[in-house]
Amino acid sequence: MGHIEHEALAPKSVSVAVITVSDSRTLETDESGRLIKDVLINHSHRIHSYHLLPNNTPGLDSLMEDLLGSAGIDAVVITGGTGLSHKDITIETVSPKFQKRMDGFGELFRSLSYQEIGAASVLSRAAGGITNGKVVLCLPGSAAAVRLALEKIIVPELPHMVREASR
């Protein structure tokens, strides 16, 4: 069965937990988290929960354990904490939980990002994986990067990803 047939069998709507990891954003200033929620809702997906956390490994680790153990969640989308500074802990905290990595997610994101920002795209550590039958996507914190990932990868493929992850 090809990808077209697989996509036809994918759910039309999925339940997503959204996490923003940032030491500087507040509920009022979290443009990237709000963008994820708005775009997914506009494409008929459901927001299970939204969380704003500081760059803090124990806090993110605990939240991920809770979310990955929840039966009501199909995917977790995280924005922020993916940079190269010593404070950026998202990838180090989340990727060890991946039972399967989705290397193509980060590769495609960096390729698309290169078309917009050039060689600076090599600083991106966007990543994706599957854990407990759930899709986990880690995005940079910038709204432009989030919009790019949503428009070019997540909106077109999230239901297909969820179907494959849950099989």
- Residue 76 tokens, joined: 């977790």
Residue type, 100: K
Q: What are the residue ranges spanned by the domains of the chain?
A: 13-165
pLDDT at 51: 97
**pLDDT > 70 fraction of the chain, expressed in percent and rounded:** 98
pLDDT tens, residue by residue, 3-14: 677 677 777 899
Distance CA 90, CA 53 (A): 11
pLDDT tens, residue by residue, 28-68: 999 999 999 999 999 999 999 999 999 988 999 999 999 99
The closest of 17, 167, 23, 120 to 78, measured between CA atoms, is 17
pLDDT at 43: 98
Distance CA 75, CA 142 (A): 20
Rounded to two decimals, what is the model's pTM? 0.95
Q: Note the CATH architecture for domain 13-165.
A: 3-Layer(aba) Sandwich (3.40)
